């Protein structure tokens, strides 16, 4: 099928949005501008750091806008003056004003990393994994005034495996989102005739993740702890408290072979490190001690915990 070329403004910020931007440009669509969030301080030095979408846009030779607000008159004047077919949005991190939603011929299409109406909001992949979902997916949505409330145009599911982390699932969904948005834009009416209202009574929300959400409660079941560890990886990271210090927990594994221990009690048995939880114990695979590099749980046990046989994590 021959590609229907569109005049597009792209709006996105994190790594998740980059494959869609690259795909639109590679397909020959006229990406007249890329909107992304302003540079933010990041890292230990708190240096101003450009968002991934800005770096990708500059590499593609595309003009970049970084307004603090989409409500500025010059923003709307620009959008109205471009004879746009569509605005494509992927994790832009701000709601679009009604005037912006109405600016393009076919409105604004959002690439959302969940199977809407489930997991509306800013952290759908994190919470899908933490909550033990067996699948998630991408929804191409016609944007409306509410938060992720618009009609569904295209949707596809993928499984969440026992090895998946938030990082690995996000990468898969970013590629899937790029594929689906190209398919939608190739339709003669850019998906207008495929719109289906969401079942709003089935909605759920994925609030923004905070650092403290990664704190492990060892009184939970092993599968819940493992889901938390994977869902918080790579950011903000799961962690526990040990001797008034924070210990990052990077990887765990559920097993019926583990010993029955008190919640938070850590032991080493036959070369494996186990921590007690509600249904017995969970195997600790990889950790990040404060101020140190990541290491295997066995190396951490030999270097630190073996001298403290009464070790309890909190």
Structure confidence by residue, pLDDT tens digits, 240-269? 998 889 999 999 999 988 999 999 999 999
Q: What is the pLDDT of residues 41-62, one digit of tens each?
A: 987 778 899 999 999 999 999 9
Domain that holds residue 259: 211-307
CA distance 295 to 218: 21
Question: Could you tell me if residue 194 is inside a domain?
Answer: yes
Question: Could you tell me if residue 187 is inside a domain?
Answer: yes
Q: Are residues 78 and 122 in the same domain?
A: yes
CA distance 15 to 208: 17
Which one of 185, 202, 219 terminates a domain? 202
Neighbours of 213 (CB within 10 A): 18
Mean pLDDT of 87-91: 99
CA within 13 Å, CB half, 301: 22
CA distance 202 to 200: 5
Q: Are residues 164 and 263 in the same domain?
A: no
Residue 7's SS3 state is: strand
pTM of the model as a whole: 0.95
Chain-centre distance of CA 184, in angstroms?
Answer: 22
Q: What is the pLDDT of residue 44?
A: 77
CA distance 164 to 279: 22
Q: Is residue 206 scored above 90 in pLDDT?
A: yes
Q: What is the pLDDT of residues 154-188, one digit of tens each?
A: 999 999 999 999 999 999 999 999 999 999 999 99
CA distance 32 to 3: 18
CB of 131 closer than 8 Å to CB of 160: no
Q: What is the pLDDT of residue 109?
A: 99
Longest dimension (CA), the chain: 70
Which one of 143, 167, 202 terminates a domain? 202
CA angle 124, 178, 214 (to 5 degrees): 25
The token pair at 153 is 């145009």
CA distance 273 to 261: 12
């Amino acid at each position: 099928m021959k590609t229907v070329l569109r005049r597009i403004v792209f709006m996105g910020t994190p790594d998740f949005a980059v494959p869609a931007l690259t795909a639109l440009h590679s397909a020959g669509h006229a990406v007249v501008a890329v909107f992304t969030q302003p540079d933010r301080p990041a890292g230990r030095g708190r240096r101003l750091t450009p968002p991934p979408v800005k770096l990708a846009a500059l590499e593609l030779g595309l003009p970049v806008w970084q307004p603090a607000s989409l409500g500025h008159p010059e923003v709307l004047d620009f959008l109205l003056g471009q004879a746009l077919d569509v605005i494509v949005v992927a994790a832009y991190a701000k709601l679009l004003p009604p005037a912006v939603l109405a600016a393009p011929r076919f409105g604004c299409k959002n690439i959302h990393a969940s199977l809407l109406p489930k997991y509306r909001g800013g952290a759908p992949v994190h919470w899908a994994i933490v909550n033990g979902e067996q699948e998630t997916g991408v929804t191409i949505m016609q944007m409306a005034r509410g938060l992720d409330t618009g009609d569904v145009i295209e949707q596809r599911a993928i499984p969440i495996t026992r090895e998946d982390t938030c990082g690995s699932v996000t990468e898969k969904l970013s590629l899937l989102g790029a594929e689906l948005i190209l398919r939608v834009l190739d339709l003669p009416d850019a998906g207008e005739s495929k719109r289906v209202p969401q079942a709003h009574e089935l909605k759920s929300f994925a609030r923004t993740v905070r650092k403290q959400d990664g704190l492990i409660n060892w009184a939970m079941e092993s599968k819940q702890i493992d889901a938390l560890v994977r869902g918080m990886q790579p950011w903000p990271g799961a962690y526990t408290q040990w001797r008034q210090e924070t210990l990052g927990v990077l990887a765990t594994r559920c097993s019926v072979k583990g010993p029955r221990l008190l919640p938070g009690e850590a032991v080493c048995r036959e070369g494996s490190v186990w921590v007690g939880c509600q249904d017995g114990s969970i195997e600790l695979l990889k950790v990040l001690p404060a101020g140190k590099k990541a290491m295997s749980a066995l190396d951490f046990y030999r270097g630190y915990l073996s001298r403290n046989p009464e070790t309890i994590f909190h």
